[in-house]
Amino acid sequence: MNAVTNPPKLHDCRDAFVAVLERLGAENPKVVAVCNDSVGSSKLGGFKSKWPERLVNVGIAEQNLVGVGAGLANGGLLPFVCGASCFLTGRSLEQIKADIAYSNANVKLIGISSGMAYGELGPTHHSIEDFAWTRVLPNLPVIAPCDSIETAAAVEWAAGYEGPVFLRLSRVGVPDLLPAGHKFVPGKANLLRDGDAVTLIANGTLTHRMMKAADILASRGIEARVLNMATVRPIDVEAVVAAARDTGAILTAEEHSIYGGLGSAIAEVVVAESPVPMKILGVPGIFAPTGSAEFLLDEFGMSPIAVADAAVELIARKAARA
């Protein structure tokens, strides 16, 4: 018999972002928001109504969006450059490389509606390449928070950090997983649940699915470790090596292509430091069919039950090697 429980409240992490941004804006007149006509989708309406002159809207022009952000930082301001992640990273990648990362501009890039948040709008609007594009750039922390608490903490940290940051947010509702008052530490994974049979690692909208998968595994008598790994670069080498050593198998899941993202970053560490069987879940190198983000995550084998089944197979591979 399954117990009847109230479903957890889901949060749109953009709300947590703008709540902190507006607080920072009140405290520090140097905080400015920069957008590409995306006032609504970036939820900057509140910021705009409070400080209309500090909302710099360059129009639908993403190369200029990022370049202007770099120039505002050069002029002593603290710009949060917001745009749909697919356009912010895809259209402006060279600006992110040259004007932001290589120039070490103190700009916070906020990729909104990342992953497959724009599900039904199709692959042009999916941002399932952005980890791969950004994590190869030196000097640019790449962060995908898992809930509203981590989002708020990461925005707070980014504002105080002197240098470029790419923060990858979704619009898909997620339950809160981290404790209130959580402090964000870049490059450090959070242990959400411990176990010794396998380690499940995710970030963004996948972390809560991993927790549900771990529940399913526990109901089958399998104890999984669950790590939330918001920072894709710099990757938490210590946590990955410990996971390999302690559990002997690592399964990753991400709202991103299986090529070049979180799973790849972890695999680079595993191969070099402590080879163990791995399974990387994500978008399998195709342009996704029509469907909502939640539908597509299920479609690509990232429903909690599918993740649990994949973990069981992985554990069998581990056993076969022993």
CB of 54 to other proteins, least distance (A): 7
Q: Helix, strand or coil for residue 321?
A: helix
CB of 141 to other proteins, least distance (A): 17
CB of 182 to other proteins, least distance (A): 33
Binding segment toward other proteins, per CB under 8 A, in 50-58, 116-124, 243-251, 277-285: 50-58
Instruction: Answer for the pair 147, 177: CB distance below 8 angstroms, yes or no.
Output: yes
Pull the structure tokens for residue 301: 């084998």
Binding segment toward other proteins, per CB under 8 A, in 67-75, 164-172, 191-199, 258-266: 67-75
Q: Report the residue number, 105 or 202, with the smaller CB distance to other proteins.
A: 105
Q: In this chain, which of 23, 102, 223, 317 binds other proteins, going by CB under 8 A?
A: 102
Alpha-helix residue ranges (DSSP H) falling in 196-256: 207-219, 237-247
Q: In this chain, which of 25, 69, 111, 141 binds other proteins, going by CB under 8 A?
A: 69
For residue 180, the one-letter residue type is A
Instruction: Answer for the pair 26, 32: CB distance below 8 angstroms, yes or no.
Output: no
CB of 68 to other proteins, least distance (A): 4
Q: In this chain, which of 18, 44, 77, 216 binds other proteins, going by CB under 8 A?
A: 77
Q: Report the residue number, 100 or 281, with the smaller CB distance to other proteins.
A: 100
Instruction: Answer for the pair 96, 66: CB distance below 8 angstroms, yes or no.
Output: yes
Q: Rounded to whole angstroms, how far apart are CA atoms 198 and 159?
A: 36
Q: Rounded to whole angstroms, how far apart are CA atoms 42 and 84?
A: 8
Q: Does 39 bind other proteins (CB under 8 A)?
A: no
The residues near 321 (Cβ < 8 Å, ≥ 6 apart) are 277
Q: In this chain, which of 11, 48, 54, 193 binds other proteins, going by CB under 8 A?
A: 54
CB of 72 to other proteins, least distance (A): 4
Binding segment toward other proteins, per CB under 8 A, in 92-100, 122-130, 141-149, 191-199: 92-100
Instruction: Answer for the pair 285, 260: CB distance below 8 angstroms, yes or no.
Output: no
For residue 183, the one-letter residue type is K
Instruction: Answer for the pair 24, 49: CB distance below 8 angstroms, yes or no.
Output: no
Q: Helix, strand or coil for residue 157?
A: helix
Binding segment toward other proteins, per CB under 8 A, in 57-65, 109-117, 242-250, 313-321: 57-65
Q: In this chain, which of 39, 56, 218, 242 binds other proteins, going by CB under 8 A?
A: 56
Enumerate residues 1-30 that contact other proteins by CB under 8 A.
30
Tell me the number of residues near other proteins by CB under 8 A: 31
Q: Rounded to whole angstroms, how far apart are CA atoms 322 and 310?
A: 19
Contact residues toward other proteins (CB under 8 A) are 30, 32, 53-54, 56, 58-59, 61, 63-64, 66-77, 79, 94-95, 98-99, 102-105
